[in-house]
Amino acid sequence: MSTATAEAAVQLIGIGKAFAGVQALRDVSLTASAGAVTGLVGENGAGKTTLLKILAGVYKPDRGRIALGGVPASFNDPAAAQAAGIAIIHQEVNVLPHLSVAENIYLSHLPRRGPFVDWPRLRDDCAAVLDNLRVKLDPETPVGELSLARQQMVEIARAIAQHARILAMDEPTASLSSEEVAILFSTIRQLTAEGVTVIFVSHRLEEVFEIADPIAVLRDGQMVGTMPRAQATTERVIELMVGRPIDRQFPKEVAEVGPVVLEVEHLSTEQLLRDVSLTVHRGEVVGLAGLVGAGRTELARAIFGVDRLSAGSIRIQGREVRIGSPADAIRLGIGFVPEDRKRSGLLLRFPLYANHTLPSLRRFVRSGRVVKRLETSAFQRWTKELSIHARDALEEARDLSGGNQQKVVLAKWLELSPQLLILDEPTRGIDVGAKVEIYDIMNRLVKSGTAILMISSDLPEVLGMSDRIVVMHEGRITGEFARGAAREQVMEAAIA
Ligand SMILES: Nc1ncnc2c1ncn2[C@@H]1O[C@H](COP(=O)(O)OP(=O)(O)O)[C@@H](O)[C@H]1O
Ligand SMILES: [Mg+2]
């Protein structure tokens, strides 16, 4: 749908907003049409959430105007925005877990009969709204028992029950599986078909390209481009988001492949893995693809000595080894960057230098004591090497952005010069610019002879950064492909 002809349901004009010295938005304008999904993308901190919160009456803008259907509007609080037909689905799910689906949907205006809630009517109204959204949910289920995706559906149903005509969604797919994303998208399509105006915020470009038209790009609080979907290419949007040309989204450099470093043979575990065999060579990136739950992380844990093997063997550089614990794995030159960097990759409240030296602490001991000065200077060396943006080595890990946190996790393993590095979802939740930097680090590592086993659910990343691709499904290996494999082949093996 072209924005020129469609009704401009929402206009944000020249919006400015500062928080205690931070200029979050500067002269930002955005138009969203009825019946369309307007995509809003930008790196972390670009100002997307702030803009939505201004539309929703959560923040008052310092400058600028809002118009709805061409008529000036101004909201002093969220209730005023809601009364004007605006609903926002916030980044964090916002439900009352102990209340039922029906109560959550009608929270602000429960149907009453005299002083009492009219339960039969509440159930009927709720069933009608859910039916209309084609969502199968029992109105009486406590919301806390539902999956995140379904809790989010309850929020959308709440917006519809409040007759919202403008629905702004802030990173709604952040914690959804791909099946759940598909359900959400069909709901969004149905809403726009009924004339609802949707503003869809995300930093996952693939999804924005699938659902949104037009696409607007924010960078550092400024609107740097708006274009119809048909004119948006990944390269162009990324370049606008990052503010510098990214020659390639996946800057893979093929290194010289040497002898086998890791050789897994007929490995099984009690839990899930069945007869898994695979090799990773010096200078090679092996991408491990598959759906969530296929057993990829389990395989990494078995290799790293977290889970016990029930059958099979592991060889490191041709020598059979028994890895009974992560400490054994580390001694054998294996590093492991886990999937969940905030839970198991980093000690968030610890200073960076302490995170850095955790697996290599012995090296910093002199006369029986850990020497902090050596630790901080080791960490500082890596901040230069990997361009880690941090105040200093004493800063707490939690204060860094996702991309910088991931570089800290990488640095801590690189300190040990591992022969084999296992990366589990190395760029999940990281900005595009920082992603490319992590790919560059991978390139440098394989060039210096490291073997990398990269688990990733991001298929373009697996295809773009692997020398070889191994696919798992339900604990088994179901396919192996050389670099250059087609997306469909890999997908097929993943669901086979
Ligand atoms: N309540 C707040 N107080 C202070 N600074 C804020 C607040 N909300 C956002 N910011 C700052 O404003 C900028 C934009 O943030 P945000 O809108 O959350 O970006 P995005 O949603 O695109 O990641 C960031 O620099 C952020 O730190
Ligand atoms: Mg945000």
Q: Are strands 334-337 and 63-68 parallel, antiparallel or unpaired?
A: unpaired
- The atom number, within ligand 1, closest to the CA of 42 reads 22
Report if residue 163 sits inside a domain.
Answer: yes
Same domain (yes/no): 23, 151: yes
Report if residue 252 sits inside a domain.
Answer: no
Same domain (yes/no): 176, 210: yes
Report if residue 249 sits inside a domain.
Answer: no
* Number of domain units in the chain: 2
CA dihedral 142, 144, 145, 150 (to 10 degrees): 100
Same domain (yes/no): 215, 336: no
Q: Cβ(399) to ligand 1 under 6 A?
A: no
- The residue ranges of the chain whose pLDDT is under 70 are 1-7
Measured distance CA(111)–CA(358) in Å, rounded: 58
Same domain (yes/no): 143, 274: no
Report if residue 466 sits inside a domain.
Answer: yes
> Separation of 46 CA from ligand 2 center, angstroms?
8
Q: Cβ(222) to ligand 1 under 6 A?
A: no
Measured distance CA(461)–CA(291) in Å, rounded: 14
Report if residue 3 sits inside a domain.
Answer: no
Q: Cβ(47) to ligand 1 under 6 A?
A: yes
Same domain (yes/no): 232, 183: yes
Same domain (yes/no): 234, 296: no
At residue 1, the pLDDT reads 42
Report if residue 2 sits inside a domain.
Answer: no
pLDDT in tens, 271-310: 899 999 999 999 999 999 998 889 999 999 999 999 999 9
At residue 3, the pLDDT reads 40
Q: Cβ(49) to ligand 1 under 6 A?
A: yes
Q: Cβ(111) to ligand 1 under 6 A?
A: no
Q: Do residues 118 and 112 lie in contact, with contact meaning Cβ atoms separated by under 8 Å?
A: yes
Q: Cβ(50) to ligand 1 under 6 A?
A: yes
Q: Cβ(24) to ligand 1 under 6 A?
A: yes
> Separation of 208 CA from ligand 1 center, angstroms?
21
Q: Of the candidates 193, 212, 242, which is a domain's last residue?
A: 242
Same domain (yes/no): 32, 70: yes
Report if residue 460 sits inside a domain.
Answer: yes
At residue 7, the pLDDT reads 63
**Residue bearing the CA closest to ligand 1, atom 24:** 45
Same domain (yes/no): 369, 293: yes
Same domain (yes/no): 193, 331: no
**Residue bearing the CA closest to ligand 1, atom 25:** 45
Q: Of the candidates 242, 272, 302, which is a domain's last residue?
A: 242
Report if residue 250 sits inside a domain.
Answer: no
> Separation of 496 CA from ligand 2 center, angstroms?
37
> Separation of 23 CA from ligand 2 center, angstroms?
15
Q: Of the candidates 200, 216, 242, which is a domain's last residue?
A: 242
Q: Cβ(48) to ligand 1 under 6 A?
A: yes
pTM for this structure?
0.71
Q: Count CB neighbours of 468 within 10 A.
A: 19
Query: Residue 42 CA: which ligand is closest?
Result: 1
Same domain (yes/no): 80, 205: yes
Same domain (yes/no): 392, 361: yes
Residue 89, domain extent: 8-242
Q: What is the CATH number of the domain that holds 92?
A: 3.40.50.300
Same domain (yes/no): 305, 454: yes
